[in-house]
């Protein structure tokens, strides 16, 4: 299978690229009028991700509208906790709410490792997207990282501090490790399922890495990222640990190809800490996209120059915010695609 545009994959593998590839975390979603229109027609968000035809349609919307260099399968990281035995509701303007949470070792016993087969609807959506893309650009598969999924499972939803989840780590350490290991095995099966269904690369989102100390991250997150990356075979892996610049040196030891960066650290410092081997992804502050075109262009060009012409995938430092003007998003993408390195 030869992709017509394989810039993202070549950049991920550290091969020569003639220009920097670009995509956006959360590119499918509320920034697009097409998405908002389709969303009105379905009962809820979960109805959308569980329907392969609709998930396929939403995945392709940003490809057509924005001209990005990769598609990312439309789903959510919370499908894993659900399949392990913790169903959730996605409440509009509020976020996810789990009906049950993990409070003790007994609750962990009632959960199971998923073998990936339960998530057939995601694999079906992947097959449909691959067919429609017709080898035009790569398709990204994804999962939450064990720590981030653990945080939702204990907390029952989003949180500013994730103090319940951290309390569990520090007071029930053995049980926490047991659950993190169960989540890791589920993630491995799920990512392998996505790869078998056709994704070209996978990203692991550790969105709440930043609430842990370096010591806690080394104890409760890194070993599980390592386990997953060692087990995954056949496609490049991107690890995005948001707000965890303190862990960049340790990331060197994780068998991933790309490390995602948020905007909180100078690019040169991140590169220094991580070394020369891995490709970097990121890292424009999503709020820059609220600025006017000239400022977006300038900030994007400064970013591109800092990263250099190779081993970089342009992206934001976190998912694009739903109220971002579409013109700002397009300006960012077009600037990356037109930029010429001296």
Residue 70 tokens, joined: 């990769």
Asked whether 122 and 198 are in contact (CB, 8 A), the reply is: no
Give the nearest distance from C-beta 209 to ligand 1CP in angstroms. 10
Q: Choose one: 23-31, 121-129, 190-198, 284-292; the region binding ligand 1CP (CB under 6 A).
A: 23-31
Give the side-chain half-sphere CA count within 13 A for 164: 15
State which residue, 11 or 241, has the beta carbon closest to ligand 1CP. Answer: 241
Decide: is 26 part of the binding site for ligand 1CP (CB under 6 A). yes
Q: Choose one: 19-27, 98-106, 117-125, 219-227; the region binding ligand 1CP (CB under 6 A).
A: 19-27
Give the nearest distance from C-beta 109 to ligand 1CP in angstroms. 26
Decide: is 61 part of the binding site for ligand 1CP (CB under 6 A). no
Q: With the CA atoms of 213, 219, 222 and 227 taken in that order, what torsion angle do they form, in degrees rounded to the nearest 10?
A: -170
CA 291, chain centre distance (Å): 25
Name the residue with the smallest CB distance to ligand 1CP.
158
Q: Which of 19, 26, 181, 285 is catalytic?
A: 26
Asked whether 184 and 222 are in contact (CB, 8 A), the reply is: no
Give the nearest distance from C-beta 336 to ligand 1CP in angstroms. 17
**CB count, 10 Å around CB of 337?**
16
Distance CA 3, CA 186 (A): 30
Is 30 among the catalytic positions?
yes
Q: Phi first, then psi: give them for residue 137, nearest 5 degrees.
A: -140, 165
Cα–Cα nearest to 68, from 339, 288, 321, 313 = 313
Asked whether 229 and 237 are in contact (CB, 8 A), the reply is: yes
Give the nearest distance from C-beta 54 to ligand 1CP in angstroms. 12
Give the nearest distance from C-beta 178 to ligand 1CP in angstroms. 23
Site string for ligand 1CP, 293-322 (x = CB under 6 A): --------------------------x---
Decide: is 66 part of the binding site for ligand 1CP (CB under 6 A). no
Q: Which of 13, 19, 76, 334 is catalytic?
A: 76
Q: Choose one: 76-84, 113-121, 281-289, 306-314; the region binding ligand 1CP (CB under 6 A).
A: 76-84
CA distances to 144, 173, 210, 309 from 241, in Å = 10, 22, 8, 23
Q: Which of 123, 152, 217, 246 is catalytic?
A: 152
Is 217 among the catalytic positions?
no
CA 325, chain centre distance (Å): 22
Give the nearest distance from C-beta 329 to ligand 1CP in angstroms. 12
330 burial level (CB within 10 Å; 0-12, 13-18, 19+): middle
Binding site for ligand 1CP (CB under 6 A): 25-30, 39, 45, 72, 74, 76-78, 90, 95-96, 142, 158, 205, 207, 319
Catalytic positions are 26, 30, 39, 76, 152
């Amino acid at each position: 299978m030869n992709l017509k545009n394989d810039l993202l994959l070549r950049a991920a593998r550290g091969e020569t690229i003639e220009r920097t590839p670009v995509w956006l975390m959360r590119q499918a979603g509320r920034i697009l009028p097409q998405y908002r229109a389709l969303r009105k027609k379905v009962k809820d968000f979960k109805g959308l991700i569980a329907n392969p035809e609709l998930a396929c349609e939403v995945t392709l919307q940003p490809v057509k509208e924005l001209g990005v260099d990769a598609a990312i399968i439309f789903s959510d990281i919370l499908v894993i906790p659900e399949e392990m035995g913790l169903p959730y509701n996605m409440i509009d303007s509020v976020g996810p709410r789990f009906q049950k949470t993990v409070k003790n070792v007994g609750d962990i016993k009632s959960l199971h490792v998923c073998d990936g087969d339960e998530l057939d609807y995601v694999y079906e959506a992947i097959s449909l997207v691959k067919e429609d893309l017709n080898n035009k650009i790569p398709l990204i598969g994804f999962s939450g990282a064990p720590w981030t999924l653990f945080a939702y499972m204990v907390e029952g939803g989003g949180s500013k501090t994730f103090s319940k989840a951290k309390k569990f780590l520090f007071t029930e350490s053995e049980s926490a490790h047991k659950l993190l290991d169960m989540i890791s095995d589920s993630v491995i099966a799920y990512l392998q399922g996505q790869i078998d269904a056709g994704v070209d690369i996978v990203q692991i989102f550790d969105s709440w890495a930043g609430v842990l100390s370096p010591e806690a991250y080394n104890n409760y997150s890194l070993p599980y990222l390592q386990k997953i990356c060692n087990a995954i075979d056949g496609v490049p892996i991107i690890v995005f640990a948001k707000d965890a610049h303190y862990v960049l040196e340790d990331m060197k030891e994780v068998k991933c190809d790309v490390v995602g960066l948020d905007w909180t650290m100078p690019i040169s410092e991140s590169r220094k800490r991580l070394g020369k081997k891995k490709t970097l992804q990121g890292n424009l502050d999503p709020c820059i996209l609220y600025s006017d075109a000239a400022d977006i262009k300038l900030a994007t060009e400064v970013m591109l120059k800092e990263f250099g012409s190779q081993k970089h995938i342009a992206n934001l430092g976190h998912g694009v915010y739903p109220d971002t003007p579409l013109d700002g998003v397009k300006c960012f993408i077009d600037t990356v695609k037109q930029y010429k390195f001296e």
